[in-house]
Amino acid sequence: MLIDLFVQRPLTLLEMPASDARYILAARSWCLLRKSAMDPHGRLLTYLRSEQRAVRFSLFMETMTQIWPEPFGLHRPCCATPSVDEMVMVQALRWASLRNRPQFERLLHEMLGDDARDLLFTQALALTDQQY
């Protein structure tokens, strides 16, 4: 399942859908700023264009970084290609936005337990309720 995301050459941030690229850039900023003990909210607003989405994304990232089986792998902000974890994140958000729980489950069932997937799906669904 997971390997299907990476069989072909991964798209660069400029080639992928804008919403996916914004989520990846927001995740990179969130992690870097949190690690530096800085508030990422202003940067999230820049990428996500909504107060509500920025707050929900912070909650989503907080949850994801806590339940991910290993440290969440991000590339540097200047890197044009997404990491494996970044691609999994945007795919999970895409399945949630489409309300496709079976595909979401298939994507994450090897990595996360039932409770963790339930929590992440609920937060992803809330985050993607309002599309760009």
Distance CA 63, CA 82 (A): 20
Measured CA to CA, the distance from residue 106 to residue 95 in angstroms comes to 10
DSSP-derived letter for residue 83 is -
**Bigger pLDDT: 130 or 64?**
64
Ranges 40-49, 72-81, 95-104: which has the least confidence: 72-81
pTM, entire model: 0.87
Question: What's the confidence (pLDDT) of residue 72?
Answer: 86
Q: What is the pLDDT of residue 7?
A: 53
Half-sphere exposure of residue 54: CA atoms within 13 angstroms, side-chain side:
15
| Higher local confidence (pLDDT), 78 or 129 | 78
pLDDT (0 to 100) of residue 88: 94
